[in-house]
Amino acid sequence: MSSLDTCQTSHTEAPKWDQATFTIGQTLQGLTDAYKIQEWKGDGSFGTVAKCMAVDSRQSVAVKILKSKNALEDMEAEVSILEELRILDPVRTSLVHFVEQFESVGFYCLAFEMLDMDLHTFLVNRKLVPLQMSEIRPIAHQLFVALYALKGLGIMHCDIKPDNVMFTDVDGQPLRVKLIDFGVAMRASEVEVGALIQAEGYRAPEVILGLPITEAIDMWAVGCVLVFLYLSGNLFPVKCGYHIVKCMVDLLGPPSDHMLETGEFSDVFFIKDRTSEAITWRLLVFFTFVVYDYYINAAEISV
C-alpha cells in the first residue's frame, strides 16, 4: 500500500508566508461582499485557503489567497475557466461554486462556497479504513457527471486527485462531493503534446509517454481516485516516474508498439528491441533508466 501524504489540517495561526498581512478576524473586502477570516484551512505552494464569514450574506465562504503578488496571469487563467463554468448548475454537476475574484492588500483572492473536507483528509480521519463499494459508487457517479459537464464545455481539469475532491458536508450530506481547484485546468483545444500536467500517481499514460492528450486523462485520474478510496492508498507510486510506468505495465501490460513509436517520451522508459526480425519495444531495467535519466539531466544543465 502506498503511503499517504501529510494531511492538511486547520490551524489558528496565519500561514508563515504572510503573518503580518493576514490575521484571524481581519476583513477582506470583496466586490459583492466582505469576508471576515475565521480560520486557516489549508496551505499550499501557490495559495492559502481561509474559512471566512461573508458579512452581508452570513454565509461561510472559502477564500483562496494567492501567495505571489505577481500571480495575476495565473489567476486570470483560472478565473477564465471558472467564469465559463458559471453556466453550469454547481449542484447538479458536482462542481465547486465560484463566488467572485477580488484584490486585498495587494494579493489576489478567489472566493468559493465553503466545503467540508477532501477525500484524502477524510480517509486519514477514519484511520485509513477503506470505503465500501456502496459508498464509492455514489462518489463515482458524481465525478462522472462532473467530467461529462466539463467535456461539454471542452474543459480539462488536469489535476484530479483525492485532495481536489471534497465532501460538501460529511455529517449532513454523507457522500455528497464536489470537484474543486481549477488552477491548472485548460481548454482541450489548447493542450499541447508533451505538456507536464496531472499529479504523479494520477497521471495518465498518454501524458507520461508524450502522446496526444484528450479529456480521457481526467477519466484515468478519477479511476485512480476511486481505487484510492477502495485501497486506502495509491494504486500507482507517486515518487518515481519509472516505477509508475513499471507498475502500469505489470498491471495492464505494455503499451502497443504503435503508441510507443508515436510517444515523444517513449525512449525515456522503453528501448527498442532489435533481437527479432520485427522491431519491438521493452521496458528499460531500472539501473539503465537511472543512468539514462542522469545523462539527460546533465545534458540539459550544460546547455
Mean pLDDT, the chain, whole residue set: 87
What pLDDT, on the 0 to 100 scale, is given for residue 303?
38
Please indicate whether the domains covering 16-113 and 119-238 agree at the CATH topology level.
no
Verify whether residue 159 is a known catalytic residue.
Answer: yes
**Would you list the domain boundaries of the chain?**
16-113, 119-238, 242-302
Which residues have C-beta within 8 Å of that of residue 140, sequence separation ≥ 6? Answer: 222, 226
Strand runs (DSSP E) across 47-188, as ranges?
Answer: 47-54, 60-66, 98-104, 107-113, 155-156, 165-169, 173-179, 186-187
Q: Which of 159, 163, 181, 218 is catalytic?
A: 159
Which of the following CATH numbers is that of domain 119-238: 3.30.450.20, 3.90.1150.10, 1.10.510.10, 3.40.630.30?
1.10.510.10
Give per-residue pLDDT as tens, 56-67: 999 999 999 987
CATH no., domain 16-113:
3.30.200.20
Closest Cα partner for 43 from 22, 74, 73, 27? Answer: 22
pLDDT value at residue 43: 77
Where b means 16+ CB within 10 Å and e means fewer, 163-200 reads bbbbbbebeeeebbbbbbbbbbbbebeebeeeeebbbb
- Residue 6's pLDDT is what? 30
pTM summary value: 0.86
